[in-house]
Amino acid sequence: MKNSKLTSILSSTLIAGALAIGSLASTPFAAAQSGETLAKVTIPFAFQSGDHQMPAGMYRIDRESQYLLVLHGPSNATGIVFMHPAIASETPTHGKVVFDRSGGKYFLRQIWKAGNNEGLECSKSRAEKETLQAQNKQAPSSVELALNSPQQ
């Protein structure tokens, strides 16, 4: 009796877990199929996106899900960026991409669309933290680049 009750509970738990995992796994896939091009931007310098070094050039920024962006750059360079929400104190009049510059290296920091005070921000990568530590935690400077509309 006790054994069959335990088996029933375990079976129910496994089925519920499988359904939860299935629904979570299918959500990003469905969102990835409906990617939205946010903007294009010309980046005149090489930069770090997470742990990946990206070359200078023209980039298309696609939103694959709420906080997942894909950067499509020159020579088939592709970077995947996980971002979190950011709020600006003033609504930007122009879309922009913001980079932190530290020790001669550029790190992708934020993306803002024109007319929206809700943007996206990257967490500091391991490479950026190591660069800051090597620079004795000297505050990085910011570099802002204007976004082009997606149609260009």
For 142, the token pair is 């910011």
pLDDT tens string for the chain (152 positions)?
A: 555 654 555 455 444 444 444 444 444 433 344 578 888 999 999 998 877 899 999 999 999 998 999 999 999 999 999 999 999 999 999 999 999 998 788 999 999 999 999 999 998 888 777 777 776 766 677 788 888 866 54
Conformational region of residue 74, where left means phi above 0, alpha means psi within -120 to 50, and beta covers everything else:
beta
Q: Which residues contact 93 (CB under 8 A, 6 or more apart)?
A: 114, 115
Whether the pTM exceeds 0.85: the reply is no
What is the per-residue DSSP string for the chain? -HHHHHHHHHHHHHHHHHHHHHHHHHHHHHHHHT-EEEEEEEE-S-EEETTEEE-SEEEEEEEEETTEEEEE-GGG-EEEEE-EEEE-SS--SS-EEEEEEETTEEEEEEEE-TT-SEEEEPPPPHHHHHHHHHTTTPPPEEEEEEPBPTT-
**Half-sphere exposure of 108 toward its Cβ, with a 13 Å CA cutoff?**
31
Structural domain boundaries in the chain: 1-34, 35-146
